[in-house]
Structure 1
């Protein structure tokens, strides 16, 4: 169970890296559920709640959401750390404390930020994770940058950059070069600023190339999982059809046996039963087609930004719009259409692309929908619509 939970967590990390945030969140929560019976449940929870906090920070939800999950991760880490202290547990402790320190740094709480960075350093001294140590140096450098202690910031940022270059960690180098560009602009060092800009451009080209192929592979995996879900539904539907046919067959046998002495009405009885079978088969086939085609049709209308999308959505999912309008009857058609996109699990990026708007506009509309439907800020918007 521990291994399976770890695999699911890693799949979630792949989705997260490819901006498939809802799929990543689902995997992190699945990993936690799988680990419930494990002896290392506290470690599993600490790791995955930290990942969820990082996910919420990535999608720029209110900082309280990320901080909540980081605190939750730290709580389970401390419970686990009291029992055994291993390298991997010191590593996750250092990671969680680094993230908490960064949250406080972003909110200009210098003392709180330094407190958690110091704890992260203590854990990492035991874990001896060179890359994690460099990440911590990077965060500390940014902290000093915001505190206007530019020389100290430069020392830590350069130290982090050196490790990332040795490790050839292009993702961390991108962040490192970006910070050094800002710093050298403040320091007035145009030569270094130009040098880091050139390095950043080279790194970003590599990242884009890697992400392109990785995104294709990840999307293939997502499609396979979705197809597996539909396959299971199809199998379930076949079972229903089989049961219906068996029941119908039993009814026929019973009817024939009961009325075999009534020769004058036997033909009509048999014909009636045949009609029942045929009708059941027609209904079953129609149900199967409806399940597969209606969903695909609605999704395609959404992708095409078709004016027929909302009408068709209400036909396929009438209970959704009814439930939304019960909460707020004043919602207009465009707001109902936006809610429908959220119900269908379209990401911010997808909504922006298909409605020809910017991600920022989509995020603002999400916040507006939260207010109009009284959805708490710490509640995941997609999960809320899924549970309607």
Structure 2
């Protein structure tokens, strides 16, 4: 028995040595085939396409994508992995520019895998940086920042200053969004220095514009003005008509903050002129809204309405509900200034619909980002499984080839080994597939639970919005009724004083009825009922902490909790604005608030 086992081990060792030598021969012969006479011509053709894409020599993106597809086919045919990885990267860039983030991310992953196999550090860094940009565009800022930090040491390893500057620029913007202005300034200054060294004008335009935005956000308007003007000058020199409208718009917004309305209007109109030439509808929607708001601040209502209507039209054309919502709010303000309450009411309803649309878009965007992340992880797992299957297939082919060479010596022994090995592999494959199915079922159950939770949250949020709208509508209706009754009462009283020929006794009865209606609390009780449904613990929490508040003061606090202003509360409670000011003073005193404390903010905390 021991002798048989020793012989078996010797045969197995000889078999493995033969298989290794056969594998080496196969690889050598395969390399010779790839380096045949047609190989240089194929690689030259592939490089020609890649260079044309890099130089933007094609008429449009679709033509470039078609030629890149040809290049990928040729790369697969001749086994040119270096060209394949570059073609995948350029294809992903074009898809990213078309906002096809899911397809772009998949190709970046494939290119990154090939770059790691070839130890191409520059391409690896570029892929990671582009993947970070995709995640940034889809709203996953945390993962995007992590990928940018992963790309940075790779760019530094090969001293790619353009790539380093690009990462510094993005990190600077992220720090600015976190209001870490000093850190943002340091990163952007480093980016400017690197782009200056390599003469990257396009990068300098972005860096100066972003650093100017940091200074603007931090209140350093003079420095922001200098940088914006420097960026505008560079853009005009380079003939970049795409970035110029944005820089002019930023400069106009800065002048508006500095109180230089004439300069602000000048730069905003320049930006409009260039955007109209570029047919940039998205930019025009924002610019028209800014100009309309500026006219509205100057009480030039007709001009403001004209530009705001243009903003709404452009926003609808590009399906941008957020910009449309901002323009509609300004139009509502203009209607209020003209006392056109009928149109104001219509716009108020439209604004409510747009708010729901914006929220739905945010929810859909978040869902897409989650789906993209899930698909990315799933495809990565599938790629690993495919690689493992390929390796298993190669091993089986090598084993069969070796068994054929030794069949004349140990046919029975090798046949037994093959049978046992095949059975073992099949069993492992079955177990692996069963585990994979179990994992897929677990993932599917988890996704269904997440979807149910999202639907529950969405339904609860929708119910809260409906109740808030009902409550505000009730308060506004009460305000309008009181204003009307007060106006009628004043007119009748004035008529009684001015004309002595009318039947004053009947008119006084009407006035008394109106005042009785003003003191009627049934509608207020209905308001309290709806308010308690939405803010059930408001009164109890407030009275527990401040038991000396009266019933009317609690009512006043409830109106503040709904974000109503003093004039609206005065109309609802049928009192004068002076009485409202006194009530606010008494409440602030009872709540022990200092002069710097906001009464509205304190009430909103309950």
Cα deviation for residue 108 of structure 1 reads 1.3
Is 1:238 aligned with 2:389?
yes
Task: Choose the corresponding residue for 1:80, options 198, 201, 214.
Answer: 198
Q: Which whole-Å CA distance do the structure 1 matches of 2:252 and 2:258 have between them?
A: 10
Is 1:42 aligned with 2:193?
no
Higher relative contact order (CA 8 A, sep 6+): 1
Match of 2:111 in 1: none
Corresponding residue SS for 2:450: coil
Task: Choose the corresponding residue for 2:228, options 114, 117, 129.
Answer: 117
Corresponding residue SS for 1:298: helix
Cα deviation for residue 176 of structure 1 reads 1.3
Question: Are the structure 2 counterparts of residues 205 and 63 from structure 1 closer, same or farther at C-alpha, using a change threshold of 3 Å?
Answer: farther
Match of 2:298 in 1: 187
Task: Choose the corresponding residue for 2:204, options 79, 88, 93.
Answer: 93
Unmatched tracts of structure 1, length 5 or more: 82-88, 261-265, 308-350, 359-388
Q: Which whole-Å CA distance do the structure 2 matches of 1:222 and 1:95 have between them?
A: 29
Q: Which whole-Å CA distance do the structure 1 matches of 2:381 and 2:450 have between them?
A: 24
Q: Which whole-Å CA distance do the structure 1 matches of 2:270 and 2:448 have between them?
A: 47
Structure-2-length-normalised TM-score:
0.38
Contact 2:232 2:248 in 1 (8 A): no
Question: Are the structure 2 counterparts of residues 103 and 228 from structure 1 closer, same or farther at C-alpha, using a change threshold of 3 Å?
Answer: same
Alignment length, in residue pairs?
Answer: 293
Question: Are the structure 2 counterparts of residues 290 and 302 from structure 1 closer, same or farther at C-alpha, using a change threshold of 3 Å?
Answer: same
Q: Which whole-Å CA distance do the structure 1 matches of 2:201 and 2:287 have between them?
A: 24
Contact 2:245 2:271 in 1 (8 A): yes
Alignment deviations for residues 36-72 of structure 1 (CA, whole Å, 9 cap, x no partner): 8999x43344456546656x489x5555586565444
Structure-1-length-normalised TM-score:
0.56
Corresponding residue SS for 1:236: helix
Corresponding residue SS for 2:243: helix
Q: Which whole-Å CA distance do the structure 2 matches of 1:352 and 1:100 have between them?
A: 39
Task: Choose the corresponding residue for 2:428, options 272, 275, 283.
Answer: 283
- Map 1:105-254 onto structure 2 (within 5 A): 105-208=216-319, 229-242=380-393, 245=396
Alignment deviations for residues 77-117 of structure 1 (CA, whole Å, 9 cap, x no partner): 12212xxxxxxx32332222112111211221112212311
Q: Which whole-Å CA distance do the structure 1 matches of 2:248 and 2:277 have between them?
A: 15
Unmatched tracts of structure 2, length 5 or more: 1-49, 55-85, 102-132, 321-360, 462-606
Q: Which whole-Å CA distance do the structure 1 matches of 2:259 and 2:319 have between them?
A: 33
Q: Which whole-Å CA distance do the structure 1 matches of 2:217 and 2:170 have between them?
A: 18
- Map 1:238-317 onto structure 2 (within 5 A): 238-242=389-393, 245=396, 270=416, 274=419, 276-288=421-433, 290-291=435-436, 294=439, 297-298=442-443, 301-302=446-447, 304-305=449-450
Q: Which whole-Å CA distance do the structure 2 matches of 1:145 and 1:133 have between them?
A: 18
